Amino acid sequence: GQMSYWGATVITKLVTAVPYVGDMILYWIWGGYTVCNATLVRFYSFHFILPFIMVVFSALHLFYLHEEGANNPLGVSADAVLVRFHPFYTYKDAVGFFILFFGLFLLVCYFPDLLGNVNNWVPADPMKTPLQIEPEWYFL
């Protein structure tokens, strides 16, 4: 849509601030001299692969956390009564996850266009800038 096109154009042009190689990086990201189909394929691939990369790094973090244990760089000795992570926090986190998932499921099923931008239904036109451009609600 129109807002996605202009959002991708503005955000990707930020890399031109890199001295000497900024334009070259921009053309590599775009896959040409403007935002085009190659750009959309690259963005889609990035958005598909990124969650899997995050899962791998989270698993590595948990593995090393369990292998080495948590560090205490300040050397503070706390003789307080500690609550074990499992089962207390495991159940608490699971309940919170399911409540959040159920709320998101209801939002997506019953109000799919609630958080969308009206200008995104307009086909992308590089010759016409949208009249009212404002940041999305989650950037405010």
The reported pTM is 0.64
The structural domains of the chain, with segments of one domain joined by +, span 2-35+82-130
- Which band of pLDDT confidence, cut at 50, 70 and 90, is reported for residue 138? confident
- What's the CA gap between 134 and 114, in Å, rounded? 16
Cα separations in angstroms, 51 against 7, 12, 21, 56, 92: 22, 21, 28, 9, 24
In sequence order, which residues have a C-beta less than 8 Å from that of residue 63 and are 6 or more positions away?
A: none
Residues 35-69 have pLDDT tens digits of 988 898 899 999 999 999 999 999 999 898 888 77
DSSP letter at 97 equals H
Dihedral (CA of 105, 117, 1, 54) sign? negative
Using omega within 30 degrees of 0 as the cis cutoff, is the peptide bond preceding 112 cis? Answer: no
Give the residue from 7, 9, 3 showing the smallest Cα distance to 36: 9
What 8-state DSSP symbol labels residue 135? -
Residue 75 has pLDDT above 80, yes or no: no
